Amino acid sequence: MSRASFECRCVLCHDYGDREEADELHLTVLENVRRYGRHVMMVAGDEVAPGFAYTIGLAHTHGVPEFAVFGLDLPTMHRMMNALGDRAVDGAGFGNEGERREVAEGRRVVFKSADLRWYRTFFGRAIGFYRRPPISLLQVTWADPAGCFPWEEQASPQHRESQPRLWLPPEDHPSGVWTAEM
């Protein structure tokens, strides 16, 4: 996806007639996208599921995919989302299934395209900004200290539950914390 081939339908590019109804968080997202070219939305974990973070605005500003990461602490995920945003803007390509080390504080990561059917579950603020899916979104999956990804047989049960498998259709996702309310 490039900016030239991306027709942005976001609330900055189009007036949908409801700007006066924007809540404080929505206004913060808009201001950050205007000022920095993106906003990092962070969702704290709870007793049921780990937290996650995702970008909003990279497609609007630069025509590159949005990113999402799950299961790390919020400051680490925030730094990771900003580093990925900076690298994407600088022209680094992050294709589906590409493994990288330099973007996640030394961790091995693999990028996976998120299935559109997960968007409403996890990325409501991005939908509110863009007004409609699909937006290209890459999940940043990370390996544990032993180098195992959550889908690998050797991964611990805790690591398997730390990240959803958003590249799978929801009905094909293994049962667990990410599918409990579906």
Q: Using one digit for the tens of pLDDT, what is the confidence trace for 70-119?
A: 999 999 999 999 988 888 777 766 666 666 666 667 778 999 999 999 99
Residue-wise pLDDT tens digits, 139-164? 999 999 898 999 999 999 999 999 99
* Spans of all domains in the chain: 3-165
| Single-letter amino acid code for the residue at 57 | G
Instruction: Tell which wins on pLDDT, 5 or 131.
Output: 131
Angle among Cα 16, 118, 8 to the nearest 5 degrees reads 35
Which neighbouring-strand residues pair with 141? 110
Q: How confident is the model at residue 34 (pLDDT cuts 50, 70, 90)?
A: very high
Q: For 57-83, what is the HEC assignment?
A: CHHHHHCCCEEEEECCCHHHHHHHHHH
Give the dihedral sign, CA 44/97/88/61: negative
- pTM, two decimals, is 0.90
The tokens describing 22, both together, are: 């924007």
